[in-house]
Amino acid sequence: MARNRQQLQTQLSRITSVLLHEKGYICFVDIFMQLGYLSQSDYEHWRFRRIPYLERVMTLNLGQINFIMKTVRQNSLHGKLLPRVTVYQSWGQGKKSLLRFSKSGAPHIEEAYATHFVTPQASI
C-alpha cells in the first residue's frame, strides 16, 4: 500500500475527521488500523501481551510512523484539539501491566503513541 505523503495527508484528514465524529477522540492505534498498517488481530495480540511491542507488527517503517504521528499531532493542535495521554494496559486475567508501543520503550516515544486528541468540551 504505497502512498506518497500528499495522498497520506489526505487520507489522514478523512480518517481523523471520521474518528473524531464517531468516537470523540483521535488515537494513533485507530489511525494505523484504518490505514491498514495494523491489523485488528495484531492489535488484540498486543493487548493480551502476546506481542512485546506494537511497532513489531506494524507494516510500515519508523520514518513513515513518525511522519503520520507528526502530521496528526500538528493538525490536531491546529484544530484546537487537546492532547491527553492515555494509559494502555494489558487485557486478560491477572495483573494488568503497561503495554509498550516501541522497541526502545523510550518514555517520550511511548507518551507520543499513547496521546489521544480530544475536543475541548470532551475533556471537561
pTM: 0.89
Domain boundaries, position 10? 5-123
The three grid cell numbers given for residue 31, joined into one nine-digit string: 489511525
Q: Per-residue pLDDT tens, the chain, 124 aa: give them.
A: 456 888 899 999 999 999 999 999 999 999 999 999 999 999 999 999 999 999 999 999 999 999 999 999 999 999 999 999 999 999 988 889 999 999 999 999 999 999 999 998 754 4
Domain count of the chain? 1
If phi > 0 it is left, if psi is from -120 to 50 it is alpha, else beta; for residue 36 that is left
Q: What is the pLDDT of residue 120?
A: 84
Give the phi and the psi of residue 116 in degrees, each rounded to 5: -105, 155
pLDDT at site 122: 53
Residue 75: HSE in the Cβ half-sphere, 13 Å Cα cutoff: 18
Task: Say how far residue 98 (Cα) sits from the centre of its chain.
Answer: 16
User: Could you tell me if 55 and 103 are in contact, meaning their C-beta atoms sit under 8 angstroms apart?
Assistant: yes
Q: Which of 18, 14, 11, 19 is nearest to 37 (CA)?
A: 11
E strands, the chain, are: 25-27, 82-85, 115-118
